[in-house]
Amino acid sequence: MNILSIIENKVNKRALSEEEIRFFIDGYVQQEIPDYQIASLLMAIKLHGMNPTETAHLTMAMVHSGHTMDLSSIEGIKVDKHSTGGVGDKTSLVVGPLVASMGMKLAKMSGKGLGHTGGTIDKLESIPGLTTSLTEAQFLQQVQTVGMAIIGQTKSLVPADKLLYALRDVTGTVQSIPLIASSIMSKKIASGAQTILLDVKYGNGAFMKTIEEATVLAKAMVAIGQTLGRDTRAILSDMNEPLGLTIGNRLEVKEAIATLQGQGPKDFTALCVEAAAVMAVQAKLFATYEEASPHVEHQLISGKAYQTFENFIHAQGGDLHVFSIPSLHETHTELPIIVAQSGYVTSIHALTLGLLSVSLGAGRLTKEEIIEYNAGIVLLVKPGDKVRSGDRLCTLYSNKSLQKEWATQALKAFTIEEKAPKVAISTLQMIQ
Ligand code: URA
């Protein structure tokens, strides 16, 4: 077997065997196959795709490229969730404590944000004192005692994905369903949980722009998980509008705390309850989603989920005092965005505000950039709200000096029309 024949097979639209897939993954990780040959193969895969069996083999070859997490010492059902990323997406900060407060064990590894989508690790690291680098023993111990832990991706887990992703990024091969699905699922499988819930987002602020593309990706990932013996399900959620009312790390943590205390925005609370209820069904705590939902809501109202959140944050060294003092918002620049005409807010473009939040300092465009934790955007309106000329639509917070284009960009994100829009109530869209 050699890499040229594997490339030729894919160019000729043939399915690759398990051995061929292992050969190129192992050869690449061991630096026996050069970048240019793997880049050529990735392009052939992007153009001709992979069938579900090939995609599952690719996922497992990537899993076997490194260390895998053994969660067997933890008692209970080990659960995991993953979001494909969005603007204002702080779901894990609420869903984690919700499911842990119900007795599930959440052992989660997360990534940092890049571009317009934020990352859970950045949000957690905006909490003073909190560490996301635990040893494996500390991680397992915390999941056992607190019910949850969230740490950064360890270097030893799925090294093949780090190498392949970096190469895909510079060779125009990121947008490929089998490559995205195997990249995400290899990390989830290597993390060891028994059940996996995927929150696959669609819309202008998401990786997948349409619900059709998101459905194809969700089905591919669910098929991989099921083939590999993990209860894997996906929910599809709208990312045309920012989630909740905040974008930016500390602002989002503050909103997650309010949500855990039963005072969160409707859209964000609904998504968290939906995700936690599906996870409770996966963990077999309830037979149906309809049965699970009221129990999940009770965990919010009773304060039990918030108590678990506090335990989790304290176990990882975090100090939550900063979130109860008004100076949280204190930044060098605070810019109110005022609407000129009266009418109804019919849409708020997530991507535009996501990119603006990066300019304000709340996100990064390169891995090396430093994030400003207090920076971000607070929305005062959501689609469907009536506004009058002179009302504030949102406030921008930044430690950079004021730039003229910020206000123009922020205003562009809001569509104001005379007629009230029909605001759709989100309903569960599940792939299983
Ligand atoms: N996220 C990942 O982890 N991998 C991809 O390929 C795309 C998004």
* pLDDT tens-digit series, residues 196-240: 999 999 999 998 999 999 999 999 999 999 999 999 999 999 999
State how beta strands 195-202 and 78-83 pair. parallel
- The confidence score (pLDDT) of residue 425 equals 66
DSSP β-bridge partners for residue 108: 150
Spatial separation of the C-alpha atoms in residues 312 and 320, rounded to whole Å: 11
- The confidence score (pLDDT) of residue 325 equals 79
Q: Is 184 in the pocket of ligand 1 (CB under 6 A)?
A: yes
182 given a catalytic annotation: no
Query: What are the CA-CA distances from residue 115 to residues 166, 187, 219, 275, 359 (Å)?
Result: 15, 21, 25, 25, 10
- Length, in residues, of the chain: 432
DSSP β-bridge partners for residue 59: none
Spatial separation of the C-alpha atoms in residues 343 and 389, rounded to whole Å: 8
Please choose, from the candidates 309, 248, 257, 258, the residue with its C-alpha nearest in 3D space to the C-alpha of residue 126. Answer: 248
Kindly report the average pLDDT of the chain as a whole number: 95
DSSP β-bridge partners for residue 329: none
**Dihedral angle sign, alpha carbons of residues 318, 320, 322, 328:** positive
Spatial separation of the C-alpha atoms in residues 371 and 360, rounded to whole Å: 10
How close is the Cα of 144 to the center of ligand 1, in Å? 29
Q: Is 177 in the pocket of ligand 1 (CB under 6 A)?
A: no
Question: What residues does CATH 1.20.970.10 cover in the chain?
Answer: 3-49
DSSP β-bridge partners for residue 344: 386, 417
Question: Token digits for 45?
Answer: 């895969």
- The confidence score (pLDDT) of residue 154 equals 86
183 given a catalytic annotation: yes
- The confidence score (pLDDT) of residue 401 equals 93
Question: What residues does CATH 3.40.1030.10 cover in the chain?
Answer: 78-322
364 given a catalytic annotation: no
Task: Decide if 209 contacts 246 (C-beta within 8 A).
Answer: no
Class of domain 78-322: alpha beta
More confident residue, 180 or 423: 180
pLDDT in tens, 137-150: 999 999 999 999 99
Q: Is 93 in the pocket of ligand 1 (CB under 6 A)?
A: no
Pocket test for ligand 1, best of 158, 165, 199 (most atoms within 8 A of CB): 165
How many C-beta atoms lie closer than 10 Å to residue 402's C-beta?
Answer: 12
Pocket test for ligand 1, best of 184, 201, 208, 367 (most atoms within 8 A of CB): 184
Please choose, from the candidates 380, 383, 384, 385, the residue with its C-alpha nearest in 3D space to the C-alpha of residue 395. Answer: 380
Percent of the chain clearing pLDDT 90 (strictly above): 91
Q: Which helix (H) or strand (E) holds 354?
A: helix 350-360
pTM value is 0.95
Spatial separation of the C-alpha atoms in residues 118 and 112, rounded to whole Å: 7
Spatial separation of the C-alpha atoms in residues 388 and 390, rounded to whole Å: 6
Q: What are the residues whose beta carbons fall under 8 Å from the beta carbon of 81, sequence distance 6 or more?
A: 91, 92, 95, 96, 106, 108, 196, 197, 198, 199, 275, 279
Question: What residues does CATH 3.90.1170.30 cover in the chain?
Answer: 331-417
82 given a catalytic annotation: yes
Which residue has the CA at smallest separation from atom 8 of ligand 1? 180
pLDDT in tens, 344-364: 999 999 999 999 999 999 998
How close is the Cα of 380 to the center of ligand 1, in Å? 32
**Per annotation, catalytic residue among 187, 233, 250, 254:** 187
Please choose, from the candidates 139, 165, 148, the residue with its C-alpha nearest in 3D space to the C-alpha of residue 81. Answer: 148
CATH fold of 331-417 reads Aldehyde Oxidoreductase; domain 3 (3.90.1170)
168 given a catalytic annotation: yes
330 pLDDT tier (thresholds 50, 70, 90): confident
184 pLDDT tier (thresholds 50, 70, 90): very high
How far the first Cα of the chain sits from its last, in Å, is: 37
pLDDT in tens, 84-140: 999 999 999 999 999 999 999 999 999 888 788 889 999 999 999 999 999 999 999
155 pLDDT tier (thresholds 50, 70, 90): confident
**Residue position matching structure tokens 């897939």:** 21
Q: Does domain 3-49 have CATH number 1.10.4190.10?
A: no
**Dihedral angle sign, alpha carbons of residues 175, 161, 248, 361:** negative
- The confidence score (pLDDT) of residue 2 equals 96
Task: Decide if 121 contacts 93 (C-beta within 8 A).
Answer: no
Q: What is the mean pLDDT of residues 27-31?
A: 97
Task: Decide if 159 contacts 66 (C-beta within 8 A).
Answer: yes
H helix and E strand count, the chain: 16, 13
Spatial separation of the C-alpha atoms in residues 55 and 178, rounded to whole Å: 6
pLDDT in tens, 383-431: 999 999 999 999 999 999 999 999 999 999 999 999 999 887 667 899 9
Sheet (strand 343-348) strand order:
386-387, 343-348, 414-417
